[in-house]
Amino acid sequence: MDVPNEALGTNTTTPPNHVRVLKDITFGSIAGMVSKVFEHPFDLTKVRLQSQTWKNEGVSGLYRGLPAPIVGAMAENASLFLSYRELQNLIRRVTHEQESEKLPLHQLALAAAGSGAITSFLLTPIELVKCKMQVQMLVTPASSSLSLPGPISVLVSAFRGSGFTGLWLGHTGTLIRETGGTAAWFSTKEYISSLLLARRTPIDPDPLTLRPWESALSGACAGAAFNLALFPADTVKSAMQTAEELRPSVDPGVRFSRPTFLGTFSELYKAQGIRGLYAGCGITIARSIPSSAIIFLIFDGLDRRFG
């Protein structure tokens, strides 16, 4: 199925490439930052459900570790939208399609998967810091909660403990989640957008541009698709990144042994079965639907206004 290029709210007049790159980064960063403020309490709950533990810390506890995911959301969405567009351009060059030509849905999915794979390398260290900060309150006495380390301290500690490669602990899970999830995310957004645009009548004053509610609706569907695609990979990733805090060695002199993706997956499955691999899935989908709607509503709106 062919999908109109306007499905992401792009204008018909194409700006110079360096301007387009800057706009993708800026619009994606703004959309990611706003959506993360909304979704962070839900994401915090998901991480703790995946870690099989919980404490009542009040409203302020729901925003524990917010700076790291805000940075992550800005980097993630800037990278996703920029690499998605550039990979589409690459596909057009390989297939000798004109820039104005529509790409079929399977090629859009390929570009989206590549975008997710690229973004996963940026996300893993940020998510490592986020997950460690989100479980610190669970293993730290209430009297010491005000002295918990910030994101920079957590990052430095992880580097000292495992070296540079240790910052990518859990990357396999992030790579799987982002590659498959982003393919589902953009493909669903494009497909729903194309259905909505197909409803336009010949006399419609703007037949190729999504209305705000259409951007939000197609984005909401995309958010659900992202998390339904490969959620167990995210569960394993979170368990790996919080293992040192939640399951420390009984011997303080023994260095932390880095868990593996397959080993953690096997342990989770043996202990809790499929149910354990989907711990936190419900609340993740609950936050991803409005969050993704916000992302595309803002990105498409900015692109229509300033693109």
Here the CATH number for the domain that contains residue 59 is 1.50.40.10
C-alpha closest to that of 248 among 138, 168, 145: 138
Tell me the backbone φ, ψ of residue 3, rounded to 5 degrees. -120, 130
The pLDDT value given to residue 11: 47
Q: Where are the beta strands (DSSP E) in 146-278?
A: none
The pLDDT value given to residue 231: 94
| Domain total in the chain | 1
C-alpha distances in Å from residue 275, one per residue of 10, 247, 278? 41, 21, 5
**Residue 243's domain spans which residues?**
2-248+256-306
C-alpha closest to that of 293 among 145, 185, 187, 164: 185
Q: What tokens appear for 125 in the block?
A: 């260290």
C-alpha distances in Å from residue 196, one per residue of 64, 140, 207? 39, 50, 10
- Is the torsion defined by CA of 173, 176, 178, 181 positive or negative? negative
Q: What tokens appear for 243 in the block?
A: 């293992």
The pLDDT value given to residue 55: 46
The pLDDT profile of the chain, 307 residues, written as one tens digit per residue, is 444 454 554 444 556 788 989 999 999 999 998 988 777 677 666 666 655 554 445 555 555 556 667 888 899 999 999 999 999 999 999 998 887 788 999 999 999 999 999 999 999 998 898 888 777 766 665 555 556 677 788 888 888 888 888 899 999 999 999 999 999 999 999 999 999 999 988 788 888 889 999 999 999 999 999 999 899 999 999 999 988 887 765 455 556 678 899 999 999 999 999 999 998 898 889 889 999 999 999 999 999 988 7
